[in-house]
A and B are shown apart, each in its own frame.
Chain A
Amino acid sequence: MTIATTTDLSVRYGRKPALIDLSIVVPEGSVGLLGPNGAGKTTLLKTWLGFLPPHAGSATVLGMDSASDSLKIRQRVGLMPELDCHIPGMTAVSYVAYAGELCGMPGNHAMRRAHEVLEYCGLGEARYRQVETYSTGMRQRIKLAQALVHGPRLLLLDEPTNGLDPEGRDEMLRLVRDISHDKGLHVIVCSHLLPDVEDTCDEVIVLREGQVVTQGSVESLRRTSGVQVDVELREASEAFCAAAERGGAKVVSRLGSRCRLALPDGTTDPAREVLAMAAASGAQVRAIRRARRSLEDVFMEAMA
């Protein structure tokens, strides 16, 4: 089942084109939507939710057309906006229950569900406090809770870790990972923090100037050609690199005590080779990892 699609979609702001002949298919699961500022990510989200009419082409979400079924879409989709937002003058429970009622849940269902969702998002005792008293981390969680309360099939997360400290980020990413896998919920994450996207998404779509530049599974995009390993030594060692080259490997890149080696195709035991090179050059190996392109590299290449 496709979660969201666009077919030759063109959207304009006045005369300025924001999306140009865009045709994408968002697969099931957890998808990252990436792109530089002004690439059209927010325009795309707005079009899917029915706030912007297409100039040409069409967009669908969960099988429903964005232009004509905007309200039905919003009943089945949860949005966690980027900016700080909440309904004033309510406790967390009332707020989330209210959000549920606005989606059409009957009052008592909404209240019960609000408690359940707040529990899941980690707001225990704090749920009876006014939202105004919440810290940034708690506000982000409540944004997630109000997006989940009505049991959406698709969740749109716009910079979910915005403003969170490292502990908060870890927990939010854990929540996003948890919710996007095996729960029957599909997720689209918009973020500039690529490692966050690597961590939580299985697929990515990269936009640029209103068009798709790259699309694919994170796993396949990150694959390197040939047998490449990242080696970390205790300290930078020229001798090690020399030994590597003698051993038939190519030093792809070096930064301080880390280097990436491309071993000859067909090497079955890269670790053995690396340890042998280290033994030969007297270097101490601290890490050997299968090299993968970082999503940042993928992104930079797409932008070039």
Chain B
Amino acid sequence: MIALNRASRWYGQVIGVNDISCRIGPGLTALLGPNGAGKSTLMKMITGQLRPTTGHVLAFGERTFANARVLRRLGYCPEIETSYEDMTGRQFVSMLGVMAGVPTSALQKRTEEVLDTVRMSQWADRRIGGYSKGMRQRVKIAQAIIHDPELLVLDEPLNGLDPVGRREMTDLFVRLAGSGRCVIVSSHILYEVEQMTHSIILMDRGRLRAIGDVYQIRALIDAHPHRVAIQTERSRDLAKRLLDLSYVLSVRLSQDDPTQLEVETRMPDLFYDDLPRIVLRDGFLITGLDSPDNNLEAVFRYLVKG
């Protein structure tokens, strides 16, 4: 649905986005990167607020910049605070629904539906000026989905929400993505992103570092072989057995916890196939087996130089 072709954007000397080419299809994709990586610039280009200095940014096959046809099918929930302090929540969502092209006949019904989805029906008639951070966030999400867009771009959408709200909104995004829409979520809270999706776009200093499935990406990071943490009483004995395996690169015993070992290998599949055999044959009592860096946080850490 979204295609970037060698898109770049700079502000004077400062590079925002540097030569990015990628495609983003339906489903939930997470946009990640440290502060200053260019995520907001990228999102602004996708939502038609900025024109790429070079290259193209296309959505639904058309260029996005100031393109009403694209904007009609797109919902954006920015990170900035709302500033319509004197409007009520209902008025605000309604107004943005009109601007997004919701027909008048359906406007009221849609406004109510959407306010109900974000659980703001109870407070919709209060001034936005009196809203807490979480309430403002919900209203922002409401305005992004009121016109039922096919493409949803969400910048830190869970900011200010309490744990119940976070779960509700996460489920909402996953649901929306599951029904064929393209949902892009940008967030710094990696463990939440992990629960939403495996599909990521990682940026750093304006450049694209990685795009795709997080576990595939992890497997491809050569510099950091697969690590397996095993907890067992007879850690040294197990260590000796494991070192017999040719594809095990190293076995490290933890300094703080004598029952903890850490194995490094480039062939995780072979390792996981052989391990049960060793454990069951020699009667090792394993109290824990885990892969501490086979997750999003590790991918982030390894790929971003910061």
| Chain A residue at minimal CB-CB distance from B294 | A286
Residues of B within 8 A of A38 (CB): 132
Interface residues of A in 143-174 (CB under 8 A from B): 163-169
Residues of B within 8 A of A278 (CB): 276
Residues of A within 8 A of B160 (CB): 192
B25 within 8 A of A: no
Q: Contact: B35 with A136, CB < 8 Å?
A: yes
A284 within 8 A of B: yes
Partner of B269, one of A193, A279, A284: A284
Partner of A300, one of B163, B190, B290: B163
A303 within 8 A of B: yes
Residues of B within 8 A of A68 (CB): none
Residues of A within 8 A of B34 (CB): 165-168
The complex places the Cα of A194 from the Cα of B192 at a distance, in Å, of 10
Interface residues of A in 65-116 (CB under 8 A from B): none
Residues of A within 8 A of B300 (CB): 166
Residues of B within 8 A of A164 (CB): 188
Which one of B41-49, B54-62, B101-109, B280-288 is at the interface? B280-288
Which one of B2-10, B63-71, B90-98, B164-172 is at the interface? B164-172
Q: Contact: B132 with A167, CB < 8 Å?
A: no
Partner of B164, one of A167, A169, A300: A300
Q: Contact: B162 with A135, CB < 8 Å?
A: no
The complex places the Cα of A137 from the Cα of B188 at a distance, in Å, of 12
Partner of B167, one of A35, A166, A168, A300: A300
B254 within 8 A of A: no
Q: Contact: A289 with B272, CB < 8 Å?
A: no
Q: Contact: A303 with B279, CB < 8 Å?
A: no
How many residues of chain B are within 8 Å of chain A by beta carbon? Answer: 41
Q: Contact: B276 with A37, CB < 8 Å?
A: no
Q: Contact: B285 with A272, CB < 8 Å?
A: yes
Residues of A within 8 A of B306 (CB): 167
B84 within 8 A of A: no
Residues of A within 8 A of B22 (CB): none
Residues of A within 8 A of B133 (CB): 37
The complex places the Cα of A163 from the Cα of B166 at a distance, in Å, of 16
Q: Contact: B276 with A192, CB < 8 Å?
A: no
| Chain A residue at minimal CB-CB distance from B39 | A165
Q: Contact: B279 with A37, CB < 8 Å?
A: no
Q: Contact: B280 with A165, CB < 8 Å?
A: no
Residues of B within 8 A of A303 (CB): 164
Q: A165-B35, A195-B191 are in contact. Are A275 and B162 (CB under 8 A)?
A: no
Q: List 27 A-B contacts (CB under 8 A).
A: A34-B163, A35-B162, A37-B132, A164-B188, A165-B35, A166-B188, A167-B34, A168-B34, A192-B160, A192-B161, A193-B189, A269-B286, A272-B280, A275-B276, A275-B286, A279-B280, A285-B276, A286-B289, A287-B289, A287-B290, A289-B288, A289-B289, A296-B167, A299-B163, A299-B164, A300-B164, A300-B167
Interfacial residues, chain A to chain B (CB-CB below 8 A): 34-38, 135-137, 163-169, 192-195, 234, 269, 271-272, 275-276, 278-279, 284-290, 296, 299-300, 303
Closest 8 CB pairs of A and B: A271-B286, A36-B162, A275-B276, A288-B289, A165-B34, A37-B134, A165-B35, A287-B290
A37-B162, A284-B272 given; name 9 further pairs at CB < 8 Å: A165-B188, A167-B301, A168-B34, A192-B161, A271-B287, A272-B279, A288-B286, A290-B288, A300-B164
